[in-house]
Structure 1
Amino acid sequence: MNKPRMKGVKSGSAPNYTGMSDVFSFGDPEPVLDNRLTDYTGVFSDMNGIYEPPISLMGLVKLLRVNAQHGPILGFKRNMILKWFKPNSVISNDAFKKFAYDYLWSGNAYLQIIKNKFGQIIRLKHLPALNMRYTTERSVYAQLTNRTIEPIKFNAGEVIHIKEYDPAQGIYGIPEYYGGIQSALLNEDATLFRRRYYKNGAHMGFIFSMADPNLSAEDETKLKNAIKNSKGVGNFRSLFFNFRSNKADAEKSIKITPVGDISTKDEFERIKKITLNDMLSMHRAQEALSGQTSGDSPGFGDLDKITRAYYNNEVVPLQQTMSSINRYLPAKLHIDFAIPEYSDLFPSKDAA
């Protein structure tokens, strides 16, 4: 990061705050990823017969850490799917947890079918979505690896691929939150700017102005040093002026003018609030359940009703998507989910 430097001040020397006009320039922020993530390039095969995803999967991984909301909301949705998952003999809780999370962050999830020597399915192994690719060979998938130059190819029909539908192409899925990426990046940009604003230590805190012609040089030096060495919130730096006016109005001879946070505080809070609402919308997340709050409402409302509605409208459809792997499994190995009593899908005692 390029640190801003004041004109007329040598590196390592103490700046003189009097008689000098300083101009500061903040360089470009260092985001988790740049806007090239949102360039939809289409799907093309390379020389090895591997289809490249239309968007950067590594970019989507980095996006999980872009702010305090995006990644945790996806983790919450994964936990809600896993919460009602029934233990299964062919897929472990750990493998299913990774499988569900891959689907949420990338729109793609993969499992390898492991069979015994009699051709019976004995296990479903999770395959990380980040490294999985579809090949030009029908029903054949490959896994990119750092250990070998050539990708590892699986047999036809050996890999189960669950994907989010993309009307532009049918090879890879695109995550549902894709349209909200810019809001997540704006949230990060605002945070980066705010951190640099506090961290650079060169912006103004307040202007200490005087109009005292009788102030001795020794006392003026002490005032300068006291202001220069003061530490406030964000280590603001302040400016000292002594106009040495001949006016005798002592009450107005000293004036402190705050500068530091006035122009950016309201804008920062507004951006953070707007982008948080966007992220809650793009994930269809309930702030009362996912640990997020926009501050628009005084409370969280009726949590029982919110939980029931979220389960019925969001969790159940995701569980149905996960259950699509059952078409590759015999009936006795099908995965299933428990149904909570508060669900509208659960027969009520009154109805019975």
Structure 2
Amino acid sequence: MTKPRRKSRRQPAQLAANDNGARQAVEAFTFGDPEPVLSRATMMDMLECYDNGRWYEPPLSRDGLARAFKASPHHSSAIILKRNMLAASFVPSPMLGRSAFAAMVLDYLVFGDCYVQEIRNRLGGVLRLEHSLAKYTRRGLETGRFWWVPNHKDEVAFDLGAVHQLRAADINQEIYGVPEYLSALQSALLNENATLFRRRYFENGSHAGYILYATGEFADGDVDKMREALKRSKGPGNFRNLFVHSPNGKENGIKLLPIAQVGANDEFLGIKNTTRDDVLAAHRVPPQLLGIVPANAGGFGDVTKATDAFFELEIEPLQAVFLELNEMAGLEVVRFRERP
């Protein structure tokens, strides 16, 4: 830390105002509140799966992942596309309906794991499987024990062995799953921040920052009037023109010095396009399947071939993940129709 400087007793610096030798002190003031660009969220901080004596806590905030699901249109659209294609190829059964399966798929793609609960009859037989929200389901310390934790006071323990978990493998722990798109989550959040910043940019009215540099001679109260006029130019009714009259001022007595890039629109488009590509690469979804307009005349190629390749490389491996539920339940509860 540097020591604070003592206040100088010297008079303020003087600046020549016009050709007649009159001198006037420089006056400076700020206007316009700073606009935050990035949020202070620390959702991406990785933690160990510590236990509280009854269950393990997830390594990532489930609430944060749920909110990030809607951060970027390409992020949520890619997940919904996979969910819809899996649900369309699923064959419903009395044990597991299509809606419950679609909810399982959405949990698996967003959180990296999903859960189903066995509903049993009085004799202990399995009647059906119901989806249990991954956001509120926790894995207990006891083998085969799971907990329902909607908040910090109404937790309920499931029956031992009544809940089955499907999870995406993680290199750091083997208790909970971690979503595959984690490496592109920062890009999805930056995409959202760029859009929010651009909205605030237009709503605020003071788009590019600037310095109003005045050296002319002004009558008493003129500076205060200019200050008030600039303050009123923000918010609703912005983009107003400001007229300043200085009868005795010299040329270039009032200057407007921009301190921000006027071409911010190009930077905005660059951020949006780059973060979109990152998200699509993490989800491995062809752009033509998400309705993205190509920037070149050649387009993205045949959409049918792209769909076939996407189904073979992404949807079929996901189908294999959910077929594991048959081994866990000891029954054929998941089955998919063959693609024509």
Same fold (TM over 0.5): yes
Considering Cα pairs closer than 8 Å and 6+ residues apart, tell me whether 1 or 2 has the greater RCO: 2
Q: Kindly report which structure 2 residues correspond to 1:1-352, keeping only aligned pairs within 5 A, or say none.
A: 23-29=31-37, 31=39, 34-47=40-53, 49-146=54-151, 149-203=153-207, 235-241=238-244, 262-293=262-293, 295=295, 298-331=298-331, 333-341=332-340
1:23: how far off? 4.4
SS of equivalent to 1:37: coil
User: In the TM superposition, what whole-angstrom CA distance separates every residue of 1:177-207 from its partner, at most 9, and x where no partner exists?
Assistant: 011111111112211211111001233699x
Change (3 A) 1:236 1:128: same
1:236: how far off? 2.9
Maintained 8 Å contact 2:117/2:162: yes
TM-score by structure 2 length? 0.76
Q: Which runs of 5+ in 1 are unaligned?
A: 1-18, 207-224, 248-256, 342-352
Change (3 A) 1:277 1:244: farther
AA aligned to 1:319 is Q
Maintained 8 Å contact 2:83/2:102: yes
Distance 1:287 1:314 in 2: 14
Change (3 A) 1:246 1:335: closer
Give the total of aligned pairs.
297
Equivalent residue number for residue 225 of structure 2: none
AA aligned to 1:157 is G
TM-score by structure 1 length? 0.73
Distance 1:202 1:246 in 2: 27
Maintained 8 Å contact 2:118/2:162: yes
Distance 2:300 2:122 in 1: 55
1:65: how far off? 1.7
1:120: how far off? 2.4
Percent identity between matched residues is: 33
User: In the TM superposition, what whole-angstrom CA distance separates every residue of 1:234-268 from its partner, at most 9, and x where no partner exists?
Assistant: 94344445677999xxxxxxxxx999982311111
AA aligned to 2:133 is P
Distance 2:241 2:208 in 1: 5
Distance 1:195 1:246 in 2: 39
1:143: how far off? 0.5
Q: Which runs of 5+ in 2 are unaligned?
A: 1-26, 211-228, 251-256
1:50: how far off? 1.5
